[in-house]
């Protein structure tokens, strides 16, 4: 789901404006510098909120950089003599390395630890780059490292306090469910339905139903309410009460890797491999942005308009 853009805190807003517009005069006024820097002297930020980078999208950006160069500089801070850490722009940095660039344009300036994390977080939010789990972890990190309250964090990132609270609450999901949310197999709305289930066993039941039966958020919420009332899932939707085996066959894993190699899409195949073939099942293709959805659609129907 696209992240709505809101106003930012004044201090961080000025940093983002400076970075995004690439106005030389403003850079000079704030003491920042534009430099061409050896790419080997630029290092990723270990605290970068974004952990997952779509390989196919990186390859597309790399091809664009080979053709047009880097049109927007990378925002960095010098942390040692001629050693720079990325504050914003790691995707461009990765694509530039793939393109074989030796020199990259950078905006160099100084940050406090909190500013560095804030700028990186906000830049990713504005570009809709973070998945729900990455965003939640970034908020949690800022709260723990900066020692600020949720109200202050909400002001800094231009979000409502309830948005911050609901985001961080996602981290209470069991690791398996959190991993599925991060991969895009269900939405934050489904996650909130899961979190509302009181009994861990019932939570597992709902999780399986969401994944296997593609429940809508409303269906998941209704089933969560029934489970909390002690009703069995079978009263609402078909459900097999046998234990589920999460282990995938080597053949299924091999096919998933073939899809990844051929399309650049990380897919999940649901089905049973028997007698040398999969007779029926489903393929789940998660995406984290409108651009990625458009790219996937073009693989299926080249030249057609997604919304036509």
- d(C-alpha 278, C-alpha 253), whole Å: 13
| DSSP H or E run through 6 | none
Phi, psi of 136 (to 5 degrees): -60, -45
- d(C-alpha 123, C-alpha 168), whole Å: 19
Read off the DSSP letter of residue 22. Answer: -
- d(C-alpha 89, C-alpha 37), whole Å: 14
50: three-class secondary structure by DSSP: coil
What does the H/E/C string look like for 124-190? HHHCCCCCHHHHHHHHHHHHHHHCCCHHHHHHHHCCCHHHHHHHHHHHHCCHHHHHHHHCCCCCHHH
| DSSP H or E run through 193 | helix 188-196
Read off the DSSP letter of residue 276. Answer: T
- Contact predicate 190/170, CB 8 Å: no
Could you confirm whether 90 is annotated as catalytic? yes
Q: Collect all residues with Cβ–Cβ distance below 8 Å to 248 and sequence separation of at least 6.
A: none
Q: Which two tokens stand for residue 44?
A: 């990723």
- d(C-alpha 50, C-alpha 63), whole Å: 22
- 106, 148, 263 from 154: Cα distances, Å: 29, 10, 38
Task: Single out the catalytic residue among 18, 77, 90, 268.
Answer: 90
Give catalytic residue positions.
90
């Amino acid at each position: 789901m696209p992240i709505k853009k809101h106003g930012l805190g004044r201090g961080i807003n000025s940093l983002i404006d400076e970075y995004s517009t690439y106005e030389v005069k403003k850079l000079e006024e704030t003491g920042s510098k534009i430099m061409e820097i050896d790419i080997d002297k630029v290092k990723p930020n270990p605290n970068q909120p974004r952990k997952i980078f779509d390989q196919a999208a990186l390859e597309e950006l790399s091809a664009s950089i080979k053709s047009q160069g880097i049109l927007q500089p990378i925002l960095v801070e010098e942390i040692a003599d001629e050693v720079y850490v990325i504050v914003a722009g790691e995707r461009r940095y990765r694509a530039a390395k793939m393109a074989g660039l030796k020199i990259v344009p950078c905006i160099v300036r100084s940050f406090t630890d909190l500013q560095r994390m804030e700028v990186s977080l906000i830049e990713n939010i504005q570009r809709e780059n973070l998945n729900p789990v990455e965003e939640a972890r970034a908020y949690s990190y800022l709260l723990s490292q900066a020692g600020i309250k949720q109200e202050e964090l909400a002001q800094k990132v231009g979000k409502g306090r309830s948005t911050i609270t609901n985001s961080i609450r996602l981290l209470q999901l069991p690791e398996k469910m959190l991993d599925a949310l991060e991969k895009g197999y269900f939405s934050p709305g489904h996650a909130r339905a899961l979190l509302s289930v009181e009994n861990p066993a019932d939570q597992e039941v709902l999780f399986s139903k969401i994944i296997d039966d593609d429940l809508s958020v409303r269906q998941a919420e209704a089933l969560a309410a029934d489970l909390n009332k002690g009703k069995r899932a079978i009263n609402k939707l078909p459900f097999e009460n046998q234990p589920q085996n999460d282990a995938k066959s080597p053949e299924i894993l091999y096919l998933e890797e073939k899809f990844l190699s051929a399309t650049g899409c990380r897919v999940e195949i649901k089905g049973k491999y028997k007698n040398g073939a999969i007779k029926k099942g489903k393929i789940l293709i998660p995406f984290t942005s409108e651009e990625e959805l458009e790219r996937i659609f073009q693989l299926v129907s080249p030249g057609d308009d997604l919304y036509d």
